[in-house]
Structure 1
Amino acid sequence: MTSLVNLPNDDTNCGWYAALPNPPEPRRLQGEQSADYAVIGAGFAGLSAARRLAEHYPQARILLVDAQRIAYGASGRNSGFVIDLPHKFALEHPDPRHKQRLLGLNRSAIDQLQGLIERHGIECQWSHAGKYQGAVGERGLAYLDHFRGLLDNLGEPYRVVERDELNGVLGTNHYSRAIFTPGCYLMQPAALVRGLGASLPENVEVLEESPISGLERDSAGNWLLQGNNGVIRTPKLLLGTSIFTREFGYLRNRLLPVMTFASWTRPLSDEEMSRTGIQADWGLTPADHAGTTVRMTQDRRLIIRNTYKHVPRYGSSVSETVRRKIQQDHRKAFLARYPQLADVAFTHTWGGTYAISRNFTNFFGEISEGVYASACDNGVGAAWGTISGRLLADLAVGAGSQQLDDIQSVTGMPSLNPPEPFLGLGVRTRIRWAAWNSRSEL
């Protein structure tokens, strides 16, 4: 039997989740349950996988299990970008066909999400707003020039935006230049994830606050999912568990748990919007990947996201003292951009854990007999989770397609990590070094 050691332990201060109304009481795993398919993890990947399984087999019993409430975990904690363009590491891949496959998969995910939002009337601030990639100083401008060359090679549309024009949108002259790409969508992630959960087909049963603490096979070859107050028996198991995949014994020495942090303000008043000249509903990511992400939501909240931590025990790795220090760092970044809003405080500061791999490779496929996994989104979780979950369900039921061929061609095995304590020392050193080098962009 494989026993789970570390469960999700997210903080209670996620602004996105706090902005939602209280959900109905959860249904929890109780007693012995049998299912045709079980899916662990109700984030973007798990929700998409469960929905697709139900489309294939409307009469099947599908159980979707999560240790927390839907939208409380990582999928509801990102900065609200659904990104079509892969991050720069993927854009540097030497094979143009590889990059086109990634683009096609991400854009298919966006189409899938937009269709579900429209069909089910999901209120989540969904917006085809595009995305700015911004530079502050010479280091950022060098990265921006490199990004521009990658876009030229790929044949992707973009627009260079200079300081004065940026100031008219962002309400700050902090940035020297940005590149605007039109394919990104913005949203309220917790609202979207909860809406996706509430609109699942009838034959998908959701069990929340039901951590699975162990897996084993029975004599008939079924998988037994052991919970605190019950067990699920199923012949096929799909894992949409991201970094927690390693807790079930899979990819254990191949995934790196990283937490990134965000803070946001209350909604700005009409006077504050006018004072700064800021517009609503935009997103900016840093040209230097270790810099600061800034979002302005549709309901006028400013978000600052930076600071990365290696978190081997997930949320348990971050103390309240560390969180307060991170909020102070966010405040410095906020005031550097918006000194005229010094009287506007942060209302929430939160973190979210995701998985990266040392070779920037995503895992997708059958990981054990009857067990299928999509793990390691490398920071593009909303789009990648959505499309990989859908195609993981196709793989589990044997439904081939060109997209399934594409995702199998662009995924592989994350590289092995060095053993502890060398891994932790190396990751922490690299994060600190990146933050030091990128301090002008923070």
Structure 2
Amino acid sequence: MKLLTHPSHQRPCGWNSWLPSRKVRPALNGQSEAEVVIIGAGYTGFAAATAWQQARPDDRIKILEADRVGEGSPGRNSGFMLEIALANDARPEELERMGQLNALSRQTMALLRERVERLGIDCQLAHSGTYRAARSAIGQRSLKQYEDFLNAAGLSYQTLSGGQLAEKIGTHYYSHGLYSPDCYLVQPAALITGLADSLEPGIELHEYSPATQIVPDGKKWRVSTSEGEVLAGRVILANNAFSRAFGADSSRLTAIYTYAAITEPLVERDRQRIAARTWGLLPAHRLGCTLRTTVDGRLMIRSGYSYEREADNARVEDGLRASLEARYPDIAPVRFDQMWGGTTGLTYNGAPFWGEIQPNLYVSAGCNGGGIVKGTFLGDALARKALGQPVEDVASLFGTASWMPPDPVRRLGFYLTSQVERLKAKSET
């Protein structure tokens, strides 16, 4: 299978489609030089560029983005900004490590919040907390494991019966729920475009500039696009799973596509019952369904996965519609205003693929669905590492990405595991 250098999506990003038009930065053209080139204008790439610029304000910093900002994966996520570990990261026996991770997440979230406020980025940032919910026995076991972690860590939460949860989100679909205050919701495309348009003058962003080749040139790296080249002292790969095309270890990283849709604004009766306020729900089970509302009274649903390539959108839409109607069978007829797919970099054990992979070539990949806060921290840390500054022990905190078998074994394993898990937790998807 040929590795792609950047994603190719069938549909535009729904979040981005609602934003006012912005001035797109010019594509890379001709020959140039820089102290550092960053591949990928996402949360990791922007954090790396900002950290570098603060440390060396006179350096030439270039960011190459394959599409226009907001259309890539950073604008296509669900907009959850978690201050504590994801459910599948939580192990009560590792409380000291998780406590350090949670502290770093809170610090990073505070930094992002301060930046949004200082720069006046209108991205609907709200400290809403998040619900987790389960319907089946397997989902309830996952929910109990997360509750055990929260208890052991001394973190605040509230358990909810199915009826109590229904009062919050307008559906009796779930039998058990849990509320954690440690989460913000955001309009992700508004956040990432706001960060792009607020970059310091010394950081040059080039949109519609997918890197096609990165090769060594003496002690430097030559980065090519279709229209230009940059000779750089260091290169940071911040394009997640697509970093594999430029040297990241394919045996430890793969690309997974996930799918989301947002309804048109709900009718007043349903809006009062379901979307009178902004809330978000993450599934207890890893293959479960994500839900959230928007400030203008819409309902977003995310469900479904595919391996390495985007699935047929008509079939995806049918699946999203079925999941929505199962949870809200009495909702007034409502159409999907937007539907799209997006990618995430996945590692087998959930640890990032991070660090220096060749002299002066660095990578941060494998966000495993926790991209905004985690990606921001890892990008900042990677820039500091590349600059030779003190940096946290990322391997001890997050672990190291473990080996996965190559295709076709990996592909077969993904589909078999997905089918088994989907059958076991059918009502959670």
Q: TM-score range by the shorter chain?
A: over 0.9
Deviation of 1:240 after TM superposition, in Å, equals 0.8
Contact 2:121–2:191 under 8 Å retained in 1: yes
Counterpart Cα distance in 2 of 1:273 and 1:361: 39
Cα distance in 2 between the residues matched to 1:412 and 1:285: 24
- 1:407 is the counterpart of 2:405: no
1:231 corresponds in structure 2 to: 229
Between stretches 404-413 and 362-371, larger displacement belongs to 404-413
Secondary structure of 2:93's counterpart equals coil
Give the SS at the match of 1:72.
Answer: coil
Give 1:83 deviation, angstroms: 1.1
Residue-by-residue CA offset, 1:381-438 (whole Å, 9 max, x unaligned): 11111111111111111221xxx22434224432222122111111111112111111
For 1:314, the equivalent position in structure 2 comes to none
Match of 2:383 in 1: 393
Q: Which amino acid aligns with 1:239?
A: L
Give runs of aligned pairs for residues 6-405 of structure 1, distance below 5 A: 6-92=5-91, 94-219=93-218, 221-274=219-272, 276=273, 278-311=275-308, 317-319=309-311, 322-400=312-390, 404-405=391-392
Number of aligned residue pairs: 428
Q: Can you list the C-alpha shifts for 1:274-303, whole angstroms capped at 9, x where unaligned?
A: 3x3543210001111211111111221101
**Paired letter, 1:19:** W
Determine if contact 1:255/1:357 at 8 Å carries over to the other structure.
yes
Distance 2:398 2:161 in 1: 37
String of CA shifts for 1:216-244, please: whole Å, max 9, x gaps.
Answer: 1113x111001101100110111111101
Distance in 1 separating the partners of 2:4 and 2:305: 23
Q: Compute the TM-score of the two structures, normalised by the length of structure 2.
A: 0.96
1:242-288 alpha-carbon deviations (Å, 9 max, x no partner): 101111022122102111111110122434323x3543210001111
Q: Aligned partners of 1:426 and 1:184: how far apart in 2?
A: 33
User: Percent of aligned positions with the same letter in both sequences?
Assistant: 33
- Write out per-residue CA displacement over residues 102-133 of structure 1, whole angstroms, 9 at most, x where no aligned residue: 21222222111101100001011100000000
Question: What are the ranges of 5 or more consecutive residues in structure 1 without an aligned counterpart?
Answer: 312-316
Mapped to 1, the partners of 2:155 and 2:303 lie a distance apart of 27
Secondary structure of the equivalent of 1:94? helix
State whether residues 44 and 389 of structure 1, in contact with CA within 8 Å, keep that contact through their aligned partners in structure 2. yes
Contact 2:247 2:357 in 1 (8 A): no
Q: 1:359 & 1:163 partners in 2: Cα distance?
A: 32
For the residue of structure 1 that corresponds to 2:54, the secondary structure is helix
The 8 Å contact of residues 169 and 279 in structure 1, kept in 2 or not, is answered as no
Unaligned runs of 5+ in 2: none
Task: Report the CA distance shift for 1:277/1:74 in structure 2 as closer, same or farther (over 3 A).
Answer: closer
- TM-score normalized by structure 1? 0.93
Asked if the contact 1:254/1:417 (under 8 Å) is kept, the reply is yes
Report the 3-state secondary structure (helix = DSSP H, G, I; strand = E; otherwise coil) of the residue aligned with 2:342.
strand
Cα distance in 2 between the residues matched to 1:143 and 1:419: 29
- Is the 1:86–1:102 Cα contact (8 Å) retained in structure 2? yes
Instruction: Tell me if structure 2 keeps the 8 A contact 1:257–1:356.
Output: yes
RMSD (Å) for aligned C-alpha atoms: 1.7
Q: CA deviation at 1:376?
A: 0.7
Aligned equivalents of 2:139, 2:156: Cα separation in 1 = 20
AA in 1 matched with 2:426: R
Partner SS state of residue 236, structure 1: strand
Once residues 223 and 300 of structure 1 are traced to their aligned partners in structure 2, the CA distance between those partners, rounded to angstroms, is 48
Name the SS for the 2:423 alignment partner: helix
Kept in 2, the 8 Å contact 1:170–1:279? The answer is: no
Stretch of structure 1 that moved more, 374-383 or 88-97: 88-97
